[in-house]
Structure 1
Amino acid sequence: MPTRRSVIAALLGGGVGAATLTDARGYLDRFAPLSGAAWGAATAGSRERVATPYGRATVRYDDAGVPTVRGDDEPSLYFAVGYVHAADRLFEMDLIRRRMRGRLSAAVGERTVESDRFHTKMDFAAAAEASWRAVRDTPTGDAMRAYAAGVEAQRTSEPLPLEFRLLDYEPAAWTPVDSMLVEKQISWGLTGSFRSLRRSVAADALGASAAATLYPDRLDHDVPILRDGGAGEGGKAADSSTATAADAPNGDDLASLSAWLADFESEPGVGSNSWLVSGEHTASGQPLVANDPHLTLMAPPVWYQMHQRRPGMRVRGVTFPGVPFVVIGENDAGAWGFTNAGADVLDTYTYETRGGEYRDGDEWRAFETEERTIEVAGGDDRSVTVRKSVHGPVLERQGRRVGVAWTGLQASRTAVAVHELDRSDGREAALAALRKFDTPTQNAVYADRDGNTAYWMTGLVPVRESGGGDTGNGGPGDDGDAVRGDRVFDGSAREGEWPGYEPYGQPDLDTGWIPFAEKPGVRDPDYLATANQRIADDPDYYLGEGYAAPFRARRIYDLLDRRAASDGPFDFAYMRRVQRDVVDERARLFVPTILEARDAMGEPARAAADRLDGWDYRMDRDSRAALAFELFVGHYRERVFDPVLDTASLGEEHYPNDLVLFALDPESRWFADPPAEGVDPRTRRDVIAAAMADAAAEIDDEGYETYGDYNRTAIDHPFDLGFLNYPRLPTDGSPATVRNFRKESAVGSSFRLLARFDGEPSLGMIPGGNDGEYFSDHYSDLLEPWADAEYRPLVETTDGDPEVRFDPGNADAAGGVGDE
């Protein structure tokens, strides 16, 4: 009989939400809901009174389980926030820190060893400790200590959540460093990309021309975020003619390492939408703000919705469980949101080595080396060699290695930035806070009640230098040349160095980073939209090249432009219409080409293609055309790229985005005669016809009638068990629509915010339940309204007696906490 750990572990190896545990259901039937020792005390309620070493606080929940937490001061407020997070999301919090520390296998066994190996080698824990050292002596540090004490008060006095009972272990004490680990996990999920390494591997396997096709330096579109400039006040531009994929060294040698690392990058499609409209264009005369971050959809959701209140501050929106502050939302002065900026903040380096040393310019250095143990429950422990160079961790696979530099491996002030943003009293205070938002790089939009608005790019972005003199510790001299970061660098030749970078330490913020004032930004735009597209056409510095396809951006700007050109002002109803929009610009681009290929199709492919004739390109759940198109896209992508990638032993992680797919020239090598050795001759018409036949066969095999039969929510608990997973509900939207839903990668709108300042409440919605406790009425109660694109007002709960009171008492009873 399988152990609990072997049953539960499969999904945790490559990250939450990755596998199906087919053998789990029968085993866990023995742990039937509402009975059995594993479920004991699972439904016990929280205490009504809690002793605290701080001032008084109260918690009231509304009818969706969203708490309003009120404290006499900051420490009492954040103590109560920590208690509430632990009460509703303790297992989620523990899972994150275990994964980031490389300690999953100690709880769940063999299946997560590779995950632990990667995270141990990256040493995210040391980076989190560096961030805590930078923050601990600030008011933010005090707030995080109080938060950790609140988590501990709940953890040590209440029954543990069901998941701990199934895995049969108890979580360790929560510390402020654990909160910093949550921040590192968020940053890694948004910016931890090995794109340049994949590009180098593709260049070696397929040739520089093919790699340039898959990963172009610049996507061909006319909808950057800043359509009228605003790319900063000046600066030294990187030479775009240098450091191309053709120069990439050792790509073929690094193929196996690149494939392994692909398992630990963010899910495809992680992105977001936001837009703001100035009061000059609105019916109310006040600005409007919209934001919907596209993150992994999981049960419970990645966000925790709440209201926080103390004298002088009221803030509402969403927090990350494990971090006390509201990240996206509004206070009494303004509202703000974030989308991923797509900046290139990770580089990889190869080295000339001898024994345990590597060449660094004119000298040889010993790798910093440490042996660590991965504890494996029910199996043999593993020994892992952790190596570090001047750039950071050294990752190895089958004898190949690269050094990794990533902005998140050094101390970050992001916790301070978000804390100050929550307390900001207007635009200039908000921008001052965003200057400290070091990781991840984000597009921030902001508006305040005085009518001021702003967009600004946040986060540390390195100005890479190659050449120059030897200044020690991997830093080039003053005569170095700025270069792009889109290749694997020769670390021994000191290519692509980051002046000011200090892995696992405090960076020199005055050296080697794009100054905040020179990052893309603008005050008081008429209106502006971000959807992970290129930020500006001609930025003063190299920012990145891994931007999203422009489909969402184009649709949002088209809708905003249309309204601005009309006689009607922007109003809240129109903002909601834009956020609910499901027109797929991919279909507008490519459906005419599909229809032109109908005479190459047999039946029933032609019948499926006929559904697209006259279609309005809306990805509605009741649409038969949307079903045919979405299934066609997946099969077309495979038909185009797999024959060539397979011959080069490259996997689907090398797929480009859909703009590249649909813009391929019919005469390109991807439709060549033959496209690669061992691949049958074909034309683009042949490939389109074959892909539509595949789609028609899938429709028939699965018994689909409409898009909603296929496009159903698949939002699962980390254990991926039937009774813990959310219900499957039909919904609208696609990977390319504003109302975003990506069924295949379980990514979509993780929170929808519509903010206004006209006296009526702003609106928000999360995809599921606020409470992570399976037995709670609020475990999945918001899933159906989210799937139907409904909203709830962001209104505090002030009526009735508090569910929990926090009263000053014995500090030991409240659960004391240290820094580490």
Structure 2
Amino acid sequence: MLTTVLRAALGLLLAALLALLAGLIYVRTQTLPQLSGTLHVAGLGSDTTITRDQYGIPHIQASRDEDAVYALGLVHAQDRAWQLDFQRRIAQGRLAEVLGTAALEQDRFLRTWGFQRAAETALDALSPQSRRLISAYTAGVNAGFALGKTAPEFLILGYEPDPWTDVDSVAWSKLMSFDLGGNWKQELSNAALCAEGGPQALKAVAPPYPAQGPTILSEDELPVTPSAPTNSDSGAACPAGLPAAHVEQLQQHLAAARQLGMEFEASRGSNNWVVSGAHTASGKPLLADDPHLKLQSPMLWYLAEVQGEELHAIGATIPGLPAVVIGRNERVAWGVTNHDPDVQDLFILPPDAPVQTREERIRVKGSADVRLNLEQSEYGPVISSVISGPQGSKLALSWPTLMSGDTTMDAFLGANYAQNWDEFRTAMQSYVAPSQSFVYADVDGNIGYIAPGRVPVRRGWDGSLPVPADGQHRWDGWIPFGELPQTFNPADGLVVTANNRSVPQAYPWLLTNDRTWADPYRAARITEQLTGKSGLTLDDMAALQGDVLSGPWREMKEALLALPSAGLSAEAALDRLRQWDGQLSTDSSSATVFEWWLAELKAQGQQHLGAEPSTRAVAAALTAGEGPLCGGASKQDCTPLLASTLETAVQKAARLPYGETHQALSTHGAFGEIRALAPLFNALIPAPGGSDTVNVARPNREDGTLAFTHAASYRQLIDLSDPDASLFTGSLGQSGNPLSPYARDQLRGWAAGQYLPMSSDPADWGRTRVLHLRAAPTH
């Protein structure tokens, strides 16, 4: 009897497995693109070749630039069709059409801010060359969509993507700008802190940037400023207070942004640097870059080489954009990190302020349409409205990203073509948002730095808090391009950026409130490792990108280790920490204890202060041994806090090696939280690094582990003495299809600090697949 039951159970299991296998084979057949042979496609001007290397990275060769960009659009559609459509739907606020009521609040937020409307105005401002290339890219995407293959997500949700448009290629840059700028959120938090504890509470959460902290430019590198500005950081004065209804509405926007994976955190940061030939073994510059962004599945970046008649660039592209965003051409290399000046302001309008109104309709899958009444003021979109009672008012957001005339796409395409510093700098004059720190190097041995973008001029106020829409609080134009932070061939042959303060105090323009720069740990460590060095190689640059020495530990350990006897388990942990070298490596149990301890200190700080303090704020409080973070003002106040947080940290750490709890999580935008689908679409892997290491991997702590979701989303190392010896890597893989061999083949190497050849030489590509594009006959 038992044997019969077991046979029946095994038969059912086998049938289920065979059905699953058949389903996977069907999905794989329906969704994986053609990578070799010949395709006849509409809209192509001349024969074009796409050679994919052993990692699925396309090397595109065409006789016309438009055809090269066309082919880029086609491979984006082949490998990232779902990502293209999902990102476009985010910009448009059209997620509920395919995801139902679960995405309705996200659509409300996206429509209220008006990202798509801003993209529509930007397209008309672009140069004729950019318009031609965008149109070619659009044709390529639509040719890819028309090939008959589709992404698994489309099969699961039961729809096909609409044709791509030129506006769609501009729209995603608006969302990137949102992800890289969070001052509106800081203003909201600052207003609450001010209301609770006065201006001093702001400094307890985020102290001013340290006077001795590293700056990107030195005083002798500051640009001449003939405009004689009267800008100054006047300090924060608490506003009368925001009505609770405004706070609630903005918190809803923030929650919607978080659901979309868009939440700005300066401390998660990015790094780039460039050293001149005076410091290198080759005598030519070396350039490094690793932008730290949300780890997502598929990964944000798509590695590619694009070659036409004049255009020849290789590096990181973003599906939806017709350019190499970070990388090099045959003569010039560039990298970017977030500069993050304050370019967002919340203005409090009276309820009778003049506004333009419009109605938009959100289609909701399985439910009735939802109509929105939206308002636009002279200050920008109205993102919150309280029209009843004595405190009736509206909140408007001013932000260059949502204004007309955004020519940032001209800047990125111009960088692809630039052959020297003058041409690169000229391209950057078109840059609007989000302001980035560009490092530059060329084959002639020059290096440089520039932070372009529209930065508003404020006179007599610092932009850190919501302000009334009155004559005293207005933007007075933009900081002139020639007076933005920039340098060319600095005397020390070194430029380091890590979201730290870009300019010393002598810089006359106000870029942002002094408390908003990222903590200086990463910038200090990179500068320490490069200053005064010679004979540097790409191996040295790779080691520095992978550096996991904890700067916070070095700063805090004296205060932490001075804790009196704290119980057997805590004392054993302290003994291990006394022997620890501060390396946040995956095999270290001391790293687990320290990161949990720091996390608990921040959590306690949030309870005392009303907002999570920066790492620098925690270090300052522990070094002083007093203050509101520790709950009081006497010199002994921090001891109970240290003891209690260490005990909690030891319990959570449980002597686990760091890698068992500290893991990189790449999540899928639609299916990442659906239990049945998450294992197929998400990716998880142990990785080193932590809070404020050069190799940033700041734990989230929200799920009871030290898993992290923000890290180096892309890494590149460029050798200007031999550009084809350069290296790069993404965080996951080229394909967005989890059934593709190229979906996650970069993941293990990325976690281990390994790289792929960033080479235009076929000898470096390994096994290849060649796809020939031919123009389809016209009828």
1:672 pairs, out of 606, 622, 631, with: 631
1:337 maps onto 2:301 in alignment: no
- State the one-letter code of the partner of 1:240: S
**Structure-2 separation of matches of 1:108 and 1:513:** 41
CA-to-aligned-CA distance 1:190-248 (integer Å, 9 cap, x gap)? 12431123212210123222123224454454211113442321144454353624346
Q: CA deviation at 1:351?
A: 1.5
Q: Aligned residue for 1:458? A: 452
1:41 maps onto 2:67 in alignment: no
1:754 maps onto 2:720 in alignment: no
Q: Is contact 1:735-1:741 (8 Å) kept? A: yes
Q: Aligned residue for 1:233? A: 224
2:651 pairs, out of 697, 719, 722, with: 697
1:250 pairs, out of 242, 255, 258, with: 242
Structure 1's 544 and 162: CA in aligned 2 closer, same or farther, altered over 3 A?
same
Q: Aligned residue for 2:361? A: 373
1:724 maps onto 2:680 in alignment: yes
Q: Aligned residue for 2:390? A: none
**Structure-1 separation of matches of 2:457 and 2:99:** 42
1:287 pairs, out of 285, 288, 302, with: 285
Q: Aligned residue for 1:17? A: none
1:141 maps onto 2:131 in alignment: yes
- State the one-letter code of the partner of 2:509: Y
CA-to-aligned-CA distance 1:389-413 (integer Å, 9 cap, x gap)? 1011111267663100111012311
Root-mean-square deviation (Å): 2.4
Q: Aligned residue for 1:262? A: 254
Q: CA deviation at 1:671?
A: 2.6
Q: Is contact 2:435-2:454 (8 Å) kept? A: yes
Structure 1's 451 and 394: CA in aligned 2 closer, same or farther, altered over 3 A?
same
**Structure-1 separation of matches of 2:561 and 2:445:** 48
1:274 pairs, out of 272, 278, 302, with: 272
Structure 1's 387 and 219: CA in aligned 2 closer, same or farther, altered over 3 A?
farther
Q: Is contact 1:59-1:67 (8 Å) kept? A: yes
Q: Aligned residue for 1:10? A: none
* DSSP 3-state at the match of 2:664: coil
Q: CA deviation at 1:643?
A: 4.2
- Which moved further from structure 2: 401-410 or 733-742? 733-742
1:302 pairs, out of 300, 303, 321, with: 300
Structure 1's 536 and 34: CA in aligned 2 closer, same or farther, altered over 3 A?
farther
CA-to-aligned-CA distance 1:461-492 (integer Å, 9 cap, x gap)? 1113xxxxxxxxxxxxxxxx45422221211x
Equivalent residue runs for 1:133-532 within 5 Å:
133-135=124-126, 138-194=128-184, 195-234=186-225, 235-240=227-232, 242=234, 244-247=236-239, 249-250=241-242, 254-263=246-255, 264=257, 266-268=263-265, 269-353=267-351, 357-358=352-353, 365=354, 367-396=355-384, 401-410=394-403, 411-464=405-458, 481=459, 483-491=461-469, 493-499=470-476, 512-525=477-490, 526-532=493-499
**Structure-2 separation of matches of 1:30 and 1:378:** 33
- Is there any run of 5+ residues in structure 2 with no aligned partner, and where? 1-15, 388-392, 701-707
**Structure-1 separation of matches of 2:82 and 2:411:** 27
1:685 maps onto 2:639 in alignment: yes
Structure 1's 217 and 350: CA in aligned 2 closer, same or farther, altered over 3 A?
farther
* DSSP 3-state at the match of 1:461: coil
Q: CA deviation at 1:273?
A: 0.2
1:75 pairs, out of 49, 54, 66, with: 66
Q: Is contact 1:287-1:757 (8 Å) kept? A: yes
Q: Aligned residue for 1:574? A: 540
Q: CA deviation at 1:656?
A: 3.0
CA-to-aligned-CA distance 1:568-610 (integer Å, 9 cap, x gap)? 43222222221121111001011221111142x2232222222
Structure 1's 229 and 691: CA in aligned 2 closer, same or farther, altered over 3 A?
farther
**Structure-2 separation of matches of 1:29 and 1:342:** 51
Equivalent residue runs for 1:608-757 within 5 Å:
608-645=573-610, 654-664=611-621, 665-673=624-632, 683-700=637-654, 705-718=656-669, 719-720=671-672, 721-744=677-700, 745-757=708-720
Q: Is contact 2:91-2:115 (8 Å) kept? A: yes
Q: CA deviation at 1:809?
A: 2.9
- State the one-letter code of the partner of 1:624: S
**Structure-2 separation of matches of 1:801 and 1:62:** 5
Q: Aligned residue for 1:540? A: 508
Q: CA deviation at 1:708?
A: 1.0
* DSSP 3-state at the match of 2:218: coil
Q: Is contact 1:86-1:151 (8 Å) kept? A: yes
Structure 1's 295 and 811: CA in aligned 2 closer, same or farther, altered over 3 A?
farther
Structure 1's 58 and 495: CA in aligned 2 closer, same or farther, altered over 3 A?
farther
Structure 1's 33 and 737: CA in aligned 2 closer, same or farther, altered over 3 A?
farther
Q: Aligned residue for 1:11? A: none
Q: Is contact 1:50-1:804 (8 Å) kept? A: no
Q: Is contact 1:349-1:489 (8 Å) kept? A: yes
Structure 1's 396 and 787: CA in aligned 2 closer, same or farther, altered over 3 A?
same
Q: Is contact 1:102-1:116 (8 Å) kept? A: yes
Q: CA deviation at 1:524?
A: 0.4
CA-to-aligned-CA distance 1:42-78 (integer Å, 9 cap, x gap)? 2463673122431221101000010001111011111
Identical amino acids, percent of aligned pairs: 28
* DSSP 3-state at the match of 2:322: coil
Q: CA deviation at 1:699?
A: 2.1
Structure 1's 555 and 29: CA in aligned 2 closer, same or farther, altered over 3 A?
farther
CA-to-aligned-CA distance 1:479-536 (integer Å, 9 cap, x gap)? xx45422221211x1343224xxxxxxxxxxxx1111110111110211100000111
- State the one-letter code of the partner of 1:154: G
Q: Aligned residue for 1:120? A: 111
**Structure-2 separation of matches of 1:117 and 1:779:** 32
Q: CA deviation at 1:727?
A: 4.3
**Structure-1 separation of matches of 2:572 and 2:342:** 44
**Structure-2 separation of matches of 1:39 and 1:290:** 37
Q: Aligned residue for 1:588? A: 554
- State the one-letter code of the partner of 1:751: Y
1:763 pairs, out of 722, 727, 750, with: 727
Q: CA deviation at 1:635?
A: 1.1
Structure 1's 603 and 125: CA in aligned 2 closer, same or farther, altered over 3 A?
same
Q: Is contact 2:180-2:264 (8 Å) kept? A: no
Structure 1's 806 and 40: CA in aligned 2 closer, same or farther, altered over 3 A?
closer
Q: CA deviation at 1:83?
A: 0.5
- State the one-letter code of the partner of 1:257: Q
Q: Is contact 2:46-2:64 (8 Å) kept? A: yes
Q: CA deviation at 1:381?
A: 2.8
* DSSP 3-state at the match of 1:741: coil
Q: CA deviation at 1:790?
A: 0.5
- State the one-letter code of the partner of 1:394: V
CA-to-aligned-CA distance 1:318-340 (integer Å, 9 cap, x gap)? 00110010011111111100000
Structure 1's 44 and 409: CA in aligned 2 closer, same or farther, altered over 3 A?
closer
Structure 1's 674 and 587: CA in aligned 2 closer, same or farther, altered over 3 A?
closer
1:560 maps onto 2:530 in alignment: yes
Q: Is contact 1:243-1:487 (8 Å) kept? A: no
CA-to-aligned-CA distance 1:692-721 (integer Å, 9 cap, x gap)? 111111123xxx521111112211222123
Structure 1's 196 and 595: CA in aligned 2 closer, same or farther, altered over 3 A?
same
- State the one-letter code of the partner of 2:471: R
Structure 1's 274 and 303: CA in aligned 2 closer, same or farther, altered over 3 A?
same
